[in-house]
Structure 1
Amino acid sequence: MVYIVIVGAVKRMITGEIKSKVDRLWTTFWNNGISNPLSVIEQISYLLFIKRLDDLELAQEKKANRLNKPITNPIFAVDKQHCRWSYFKNLTDSEEMLRIVRDKAFPFIKTLGTTGEDSTYVRHMKDAVFLIANPALLASVVGQIDQIPMEDRDTKGDLYEYMLSKLTTAGTNGQFRTPRHIIKMMVELMSPGAREIICDPACGTAGFLVAAAEYLRDLKDADGNLILNAPGNREHFNKEMFHGFDFDGTMLRIGSMNLMLHGIEDPKIEARDSLSEDHAGITEAFTLILANPPFKGSIEKSTIAKDLTKVISTTKTELLFIGLFLRLLKIGGRAAVIVPDGVLFGSSTAHKKIREVLVEQHKLDGVISMPSGVFKPYAGVSTAVLIFTKTGAGGTDEVWFYDMEADGLSLDDKRQPVEENDIPDLLKRWKVRNPETDTDRTGKAFFVPKDEIKANGYDLSINRYKEIEYQEVKYEPPKVILQKLRDLEAEIRADLDALEGLLG
């Protein structure tokens, strides 16, 4: 089956007016003492979830009235009608509103969720805490959220992404948000299909999973039909396609809400420390991995899953995660993952071993060198994207390298839009890459044979193979230069004599 993506499709983006409303909502929390960005997003997420439940119920009620039939499996039972957004948003008594939301509606969403089943949303909500204690704050926030138009999935998703963009400080354990345009680039490089089983083992806010979902929603077959409309594809998309792991409860809740607000019904988001022995056991389960795992140095050896240490004997997280990706992928499964530059050229035995494993035992498809400012203002670390296929039987003949020097934003802490952007060129060249023609090592993209990489100790840094063109600079003969210096000295003497004459 041939799939195509309609490039440049018109998607509604949030307007300046709506952004202003979100900014005002954010300021309201800050002015009332809730200033941690993660906490603000969590509290807004809970209220958005309650609102979404009521929106779903209202849609069911309209359909039931149209068909003159009762609602099957209502979300809100008769004795839970006061938990509905459409009920408490109209209360004039703010203290009564707080009592209902805090003591009734919030506990309701922690235990029942969308259908009364033990969904991932509900599991992650069990440890949730409602921080809004001021009746006036709640009334203000509910009123502001109600004024933000969120009728369609795209607007909800864009709003949530805009909120997540406000996470401007690095998290714990080396976590920080991957820029959305880099995530989108990696998804387009991998071109996921309709029956993929996608995993991000360090999912955080679930940005990679959301981007993959958006890509697939726009994907069309050769006849111009949306691939998700083909038999079975929509159900797979909603229930089996998306998987994410994280050990941070806040991230699990935010990631789940992010996916929910992008219209994914039942993503499998699990509380799991991916490298830990306590959570070992998942093997060969996924066809595609997209990830930017946290790089926090070393971890305690006794806590590392034994099957990972069989792949690579190390305590460094950046190397262990590569071993994890290989464990999680099915044979033939693919990965696009971000790694710190040290993975490419590190000289330790473990560094060399993991590169050898990728090149010799599997198929290393590509190495994309990214500029060091990509993750500013969070961090200035230099990074690269590794693209590989799990084969278990080798397959690397030549590796494609790309030197990405600009990503469309300034490479300083401000990250303002600029004209220089290699991403469109990168995506274009990736699709038409050819070892027979991509041989110019002075250019942006080129192939390097496996044997040459092996001879260089499996070094994967692009500078090892890229050739720099030096322009010949011609200088004048020494005697000519010496005469020019004498002439210049004579001019200086003349000026000094003139100045002395003026001083009399």
Structure 2
Amino acid sequence: MITKRTAKIKRLKNKMSSEELSQRGLTKKGITIMDFEFFPLHSTTLKQYKKSNIIPNKDYDKYEVRKPDGILVDRANKSKPKVIAVLEYKKPSEFQTDKQKREAIEQCNDLCQELEAQIGIITDGIVTYWINPNHPDKNNEYKDRTTGKKRSFSYILNDDKQRLQKKLFIKESDKKDISKLDDETRETYRLVKRILEETNNKNSILKATEKTDPTPLARSVWQSIYISTKDNPTACLYNVVEIFIFKFLSDLGVLKGVNSFDYLLKLYKTEDSKTVLKHYAKTCREEIRNLFEAGDDGTTIINGTIFVNKDGSPVLSQATLFKDTIEKYAKFGDLRNIDKGFKTKLFETFLKQSKDKSKLGQFFTPRKVVKGIVEMADVDKAEFICDPFCGVGGFLLEPFQISQNLKNKFIPKNNKINPPVKLLGYDTGREDNDEQKRTIILAKANMLIYLSDLVEKNPTLNEEFSKIINNTFHFLSDSNLGTLKETERFERNDDKPDLIITNPPYITSGVTTIRKQIEEDGLTDYYKNSGKGMEGLCLKWIIKNLKRKGQAFIVLPDSIFNVFANKVLRDEIKKNCYINCIISLPAKTFFNTPKKTYVLGITKKDCDEDECENLKQDFPVFTYLVSNIGETLDINRFEIPENDLDNAKNLFNQFKGSPNNFQTDDPRCKLQPIEKFENEKYWIIDKWWSKEEKEKLGISEKEEVFTIDEFKEEMKNIKENFDKLNKILEGL
């Protein structure tokens, strides 16, 4: 029997429920989150929701008076609202024991099934459970305490089959544009959409994201362009990358409408090939340039010159080839979710099959070498990573592949990208030389590809990504000295990079001109004791600009270590730095030279320059002989399992933790006392293994090979030394 008092209380509760909807201004519309509406109410009953046409209009029986803590609804069809998710919030004190958690989950599931919702979310703000109320599981069967119905549910699982426990976060502000959602709400929205797409009444396991490897596509397009145009392979690569970016940005929804790949593809049904190419050049391409504006150096992420000339006009003679290229990309499909491996092997793939290896090789370090060196460096600890001679940017971008911690620093926060780590790369050339400019353009395009997963999740933040890319890579054209001119870039020690990873250019011809320019610019004292060759000047710049206590890993030719004229430079290294390692790389490691090279690892001493000589190194130097880098060293560069560089990397990472206590039985590794570097005239570490030791390692002694320029330089050095000796003898 219902008393007057009971009826009055019931009417009062219904009034409160109605007032909550009214007071929050949610009687007509919930908080908009893209295509959903969110109702974060605690005192509103299902009956009141039904009356306001927020949930389906049906008899909820005993559940009419139940009050969900929140519901997410799709009301695209106002006459048939659809509940997407039911939220159950608990105080942490009410969500501690297994029994408490189970009861809360069952309570949420009851409402989910009554409302025909697809997702149940149960949380105390610390721990979160996601359930699928439509997928029965015998392990989760129970009897509904309200109606006595037999119910069941399944936990939603990640692709690793572990329970999904990602925190729920929905900021209460109307947003129909995903780019305007705050970061946490955007992630929650995406997760809900993913669950809706991937779960059903027979499955509660989220799919592993399928990765796309466009290498076969890129290779096919490159071959078609190369065969059709007979242009140099490097220029062909620029165009492969440009069309790749066009398709990629279209797939992400960054390029829309008339600017998109799909629109261009449909044009072929009504227009001829030349008209379509004109549309690409004047509309699509211009939009890419507008979205990703050029930096202060005038370079952006695209600059192919086969389909479009340097003035931006279409090359109509290539309209048929352009159509063939577009159709290949269309046939391949979606370019989202790019495979991690593709990012690192894009340039290497073309380099291996190109007859023009010397041209591309001059600014390309093999990926195996890049990866090994980057994994030796403490990229996670670095605040400022610099490659002063960056080429296509491998040393600055590889850290994104090996360190998720570093990549997380570039995740947008509130639609801004302000990472606490700085990346900086320089490349040099003439302002009027488009070929030289394209190296930095490739680096910028490469960075966009490396950050593709972040771009995919934040497709409207093109200005932010453009800013990061332009702030990272710089084309220096105001002086023939390039990076060597940048002597005042870092005025204070705190402004300097604490990690430099680089492969500077090794040339002997033309160095005289560079040294004359240095003299004319008043930089002679700055580059004093820089030895011979371009690499000596580069190494001097590195030592000068490395932050105190900062580390550098530099790929250098053997001339730094075995030429008498470079002794002054070796003395500079000892004076200003601690020598951490010298790793011998095999001849022919690089595509364009048989030159013997080494990896030098140093740490800048923490002292003023005039006091550095007093700080003595008190630990040994890690040295290692590498014969294999994980690929053949011939023209084909086939993958092989043998990789001494990988072993060297692993041992060095152990060594640097406690240099004076490190021990190993690897015969390729020796710890050399620092005194050896004081007493030995040359630092060719290979000679510090006996002939017998090398034979056991399968290393054969080879005669030293000089290029013509190197031979001339060596003869010049010998003559200079004889002249000095004659002067001494004449004075006796």
TM-score bracket for this pair, using the shorter chain length: 0.7 to 0.9
1:21-73 deviation per Cα after TM superposition (whole angstroms, max 9, x unaligned): 332212221232153222112112222333344344x26xxxxxxxxxxxxxx
Identify the residue that residue 33 of structure 2 maps to in structure 1: none
Is the 1:202–1:291 Cα contact (8 Å) retained in structure 2? yes
* Equivalent position amino acid for 1:148 in 2: F
Q: How far, CA to CA, are the matches of 1:121 and 1:137 in structure 2? A: 31
Is the 2:484–2:541 Cα contact (8 Å) retained in structure 1? no
Is the 1:209–1:242 Cα contact (8 Å) retained in structure 2? yes
Pairwise mapping of residues 98-177 of structure 1 onto structure 2 (< 5 A)? Answer: 98-110=277-289, 112-114=290-292, 118-119=294-295, 123-124=299-300, 129=305, 130-131=308-309, 132-133=315-316, 134-155=318-339, 158=342, 161-167=345-351, 168=354, 169-171=356-358, 175-177=362-364
Normalization by structure 1: what TM-score? 0.74
Give me the identity figure in percent: 19
- Is 1:51 matched with 2:247? yes
* Equivalent position amino acid for 1:100 in 2: H
Residue 14 of structure 1: how far off its partner (Å) = 6.0
* Equivalent position amino acid for 1:408 in 2: G
Q: How far, CA to CA, are the matches of 1:144 and 1:188 in structure 2? A: 36
Pairwise mapping of residues 275-424 of structure 1 onto structure 2 (< 5 A)? Answer: 275=482, 278-283=485-490, 285-298=496-509, 299=511, 300=513, 301-304=515-518, 306=523, 309-314=526-531, 316-348=533-565, 351-376=566-591, 378-391=592-605, 392=607, 393=612, 394-397=615-618, 398-424=620-646
1:180-238 deviation per Cα after TM superposition (whole angstroms, max 9, x unaligned): 11100000011301653211112111111221121222679xxxxx7777999x9454x
Q: 1:420 to 1:313 in 2, by over 3 A?
A: closer
Identify the residue that residue 93 of structure 2 maps to in structure 1: none
Residue 366 of structure 1: how far off its partner (Å) = 0.5
Residue 260 of structure 1: how far off its partner (Å) = 0.8
1:406-450 deviation per Cα after TM superposition (whole angstroms, max 9, x unaligned): 222233333333343212321221122255455789922222222
Q: How far, CA to CA, are the matches of 1:229 and 1:50 in structure 2? A: 23
Number of equivalences: 426
Residue 171 of structure 1: how far off its partner (Å) = 4.2
Is the 1:201–1:274 Cα contact (8 Å) retained in structure 2? no
Other structure's SS at 2:500 match: strand
Q: How far, CA to CA, are the matches of 1:39 and 1:277 in structure 2? A: 28
Q: 1:150 to 1:41 in 2, by over 3 A?
A: farther
Unaligned runs of at least 5 residues, structure 2: 1-207, 310-314, 429-435, 453-464, 695-732
Is the 1:369–1:385 Cα contact (8 Å) retained in structure 2? yes
Other structure's SS at 1:317 match: helix
Identify the residue that residue 217 of structure 1 maps to in structure 2: 404
**Which deviates more, 413-422 or 94-103?**
413-422
Q: 1:101 to 1:322 in 2, by over 3 A?
A: same
Identify the residue that residue 198 of structure 1 maps to in structure 2: 385
- Is 1:260 matched with 2:456? no
* Equivalent position amino acid for 2:601 in 1: I
Q: How far, CA to CA, are the matches of 1:263 and 1:358 in structure 2? A: 36
1:452-504 deviation per Cα after TM superposition (whole angstroms, max 9, x unaligned): 211113x3211343345479xxxxxxxxxxxxxxxxxxxxxxxxxxxxxxxxx
Q: How far, CA to CA, are the matches of 1:441 and 1:328 in structure 2? A: 37
Is the 1:367–1:400 Cα contact (8 Å) retained in structure 2? yes
Is the 1:441–1:465 Cα contact (8 Å) retained in structure 2? no
Pairwise mapping of residues 82-93 of structure 1 onto structure 2 (< 5 A)? Answer: 82-92=258-268, 93=271
Q: What do you get for the CA RMSD once the two structures are aligned? A: 3.5
Q: 1:461 aligns with which of 680, 684, 708?
A: 684
* Equivalent position amino acid for 2:679 in 1: A
* Equivalent position amino acid for 2:558 in 1: D
Q: How far, CA to CA, are the matches of 2:602 and 2:275 in structure 1? A: 56
Pairwise mapping of residues 219-238 of structure 1 onto structure 2 (< 5 A)? Answer: 235-237=417-419
* Equivalent position amino acid for 1:405 in 2: S
Q: 1:333 to 1:406 in 2, by over 3 A?
A: same
Q: How far, CA to CA, are the matches of 1:425 and 1:156 in structure 2? A: 23
Identify the residue that residue 483 of structure 1 maps to in structure 2: none
Unaligned runs of at least 5 residues, structure 1: 1-9, 60-74, 221-225, 472-504
Q: 1:263 to 1:194 in 2, by over 3 A?
A: farther
Q: 1:38 aligns with which of 218, 234, 247?
A: 234
Is the 1:366–1:399 Cα contact (8 Å) retained in structure 2? yes
Identify the residue that residue 51 of structure 2 maps to in structure 1: none
Q: 1:187 to 1:149 in 2, by over 3 A?
A: farther
Q: How far, CA to CA, are the matches of 1:274 and 1:149 in structure 2? A: 45
Normalization by structure 2: what TM-score? 0.52
Is the 1:362–1:395 Cα contact (8 Å) retained in structure 2? no
Is the 2:385–2:423 Cα contact (8 Å) retained in structure 1? yes
Q: How far, CA to CA, are the matches of 1:435 and 1:465 in structure 2? A: 19
- Is 1:29 matched with 2:225? yes
* Equivalent position amino acid for 2:424 in 1: H
Residue 153 of structure 1: how far off its partner (Å) = 5.0
- Is 1:271 matched with 2:455? no
Q: 1:352 to 1:203 in 2, by over 3 A?
A: same
Q: How far, CA to CA, are the matches of 1:173 and 1:29 in structure 2? A: 17
Residue 125 of structure 1: how far off its partner (Å) = 5.9
Q: How far, CA to CA, are the matches of 1:435 and 1:374 in structure 2? A: 28
- Is 1:241 matched with 2:462? no
Identify the residue that residue 697 of structure 2 maps to in structure 1: none
Q: How far, CA to CA, are the matches of 2:412 and 2:652 in structure 1? A: 28
Is the 2:251–2:335 Cα contact (8 Å) retained in structure 1? no
* Equivalent position amino acid for 2:426 in 1: F
1:123-155 deviation per Cα after TM superposition (whole angstroms, max 9, x unaligned): 346976425532221111112123334544543
- Is 1:427 matched with 2:673? no
* Equivalent position amino acid for 1:89 in 2: L
Q: 1:334 to 1:28 in 2, by over 3 A?
A: same
- Is 1:450 matched with 2:637? no
Identify the residue that residue 457 of structure 2 maps to in structure 1: none
Q: How far, CA to CA, are the matches of 1:353 and 1:165 in structure 2? A: 40
Q: 1:255 to 1:105 in 2, by over 3 A?
A: same
* Equivalent position amino acid for 2:625 in 1: D
Q: How far, CA to CA, are the matches of 2:209 and 2:359 in structure 1? A: 34
Other structure's SS at 2:505 match: coil
Q: How far, CA to CA, are the matches of 1:469 and 1:95 in structure 2? A: 68
Other structure's SS at 2:634 match: coil
* Equivalent position amino acid for 2:675 in 1: D
Is the 1:276–1:303 Cα contact (8 Å) retained in structure 2? no
Residue 314 of structure 1: how far off its partner (Å) = 4.5
Pairwise mapping of residues 2-81 of structure 1 onto structure 2 (< 5 A)? Answer: 18-56=214-252, 58=253, 81=257
Is the 1:370–1:383 Cα contact (8 Å) retained in structure 2? yes
Q: 1:180 to 1:22 in 2, by over 3 A?
A: same
